Amino acid sequence: MRGHVSILNTNARIDSLQLMLTDLRMRNEPIRHKAAFRGCQPEFQALVSRLIEQLEDELMQEKQRFRDQARSR
């Protein structure tokens, strides 16, 4: 049972990373307009890109960890 909870937590982590990546990739126009109005649109976009890259790396690591755990059972 304990191993099952671990699998669920891993799936939840993968799901949450995928959802966050989807959210970051969507163009949130009101936020982008605020960034442009404040004169920080290039910095904002650079930050979004960096966050996407970091989360993609974390997602790949989490998927690998999940596969490794599944194989060891």
Domain hosting residue 17, numbered range: 2-71
pTM of the model: 0.76
Long-range contacts of 17-21 (CB under 8 A, 24+ apart): 17/55, 17/58, 17/59, 17/62, 18/59, 20/55, 21/52, 21/55, 21/56, 21/59
Q: pLDDT tens for residues 14-71?
A: 999 999 999 999 888 888 899 999 999 999 999 999 999 999 999 999 999 988 988 8
What is the domain count for the chain? 1
pLDDT at residue 5 tops 90: no
Q: pLDDT tens for residues 8-29?
A: 556 899 999 999 999 999 888 8
